[in-house]
Amino acid sequence: MKAEIAVVGSANLDLVVDVVQVPLVGETVLGGDLRRIPGGKGANQAVAAVRLGRRVAMIGRVGDDAAGHDLRTSLESDGIDTTHLLSTRGTPSGIAFIAVQSDGDNSIVVSPGANARLSVDDLIAAGPTLESAAVTLLQLEVPLDVVTAAARTAHGTVILNPAPAPPGGLPDTLLAHTDVLVPNQTELAALAGFDGPVDPSTAIGLARSLPCGSVVVTLGADGALVVDHTDVVHIRAPVVTPVDTTAAGDSFCGALADALFRGETLTAAAEWAVRVGAATTQRAGAQPSIPTPSEVEQLLG
């Protein structure tokens, strides 16, 4: 069956350690036992969409190592089409080193590995999948020229999560082919070239300065802002005590894609995405924390 949602992005093995507080520069802290968890922004968003009931195809690269085998097997166990998740000879899979604080916040260092080898030629080979998908999800843990090519190739709604945000901003060509941009406050400031704190009122002006379609700014515990050229809606988040925020933003993006595929308005889709993101923070780990629709209701009470 054809995929309803195509995801072009990264697959990483997350190496996770719980700490009381992430270390400062030059500081050493003791942590808990090491956990090895499937992750990567692209793979996380694919898992989020498939657990919410969508048919999903993953386009990316893993290494020809044990981690690559485990990442592929994990995605396939969720029912994700990995036809275009390619193995890269002589290259390690992407790895993320994650320290999770006791309050649920985290600090992450990513070694891209095979993710950095995804090419425009790979996108050309996956062209029919991108052309037939109703929604395409993109992030920035794979090369920027590949992301731009994917946005131009996709025939459906293009959602871009600009993470990690490049310091020089994004090319107008990519933004022009983006229907919904989903940055957090830090990423929005970087894209708009703004040096200062971003509160909700500042975010509105920055979002409208970008040459793309609509912008949904994620605000963490404060929910999200839906901004287009005429309207602004502030969606409040459920009040929760987070256990681990690692995949909350990725779950948000997967849920947004799910709801837009189902024909919801952008505001309604963002309301659903806020709930899914909040539910994700109630469990530890990246992909293990991503909920099904019934689990969203159970976790939020």
Residues tagged active-site = 250
Between strands 12-18 and 35-39, the pairing is antiparallel
Q: Which residues pair with 16 in a beta bridge?
A: 35, 98
> What φ, ψ does residue 4 adopt, rounded to 5°?
-80, -35
Nearest to 215 by CA among 201, 225, 200, 202: 225
* DSSP code per residue over 183-240: -BHHHHHHHHT--S---HHHHHHHHHTSSSSEEEEE-GGG-EEEE-SS-EEEEPPPP-
Residue at token pair 């995605």: 75
Measuring CA to CA, how many Å separate 231 from each of 41, 85, 213, 227? 29, 39, 13, 6
CA distances from 232 to 168, 203, 217 (A): 27, 11, 11
Pick from 14, 48, 100, 28: which is nearest to 252 by CA?
A: 48
Q: Centre a 10 Å sphere on the Cβ of residue 53 and count the other Cβ atoms it contains.
A: 12
Cα separation, 58 vs 38, whole angstroms: 14
Joined together, the tokens standing for residue 286 give 């990246």
Q: How far is CA 19 from CA 23, 100, 107, in A?
A: 9, 6, 10
State how beta strands 157-160 and 135-138 pair: parallel
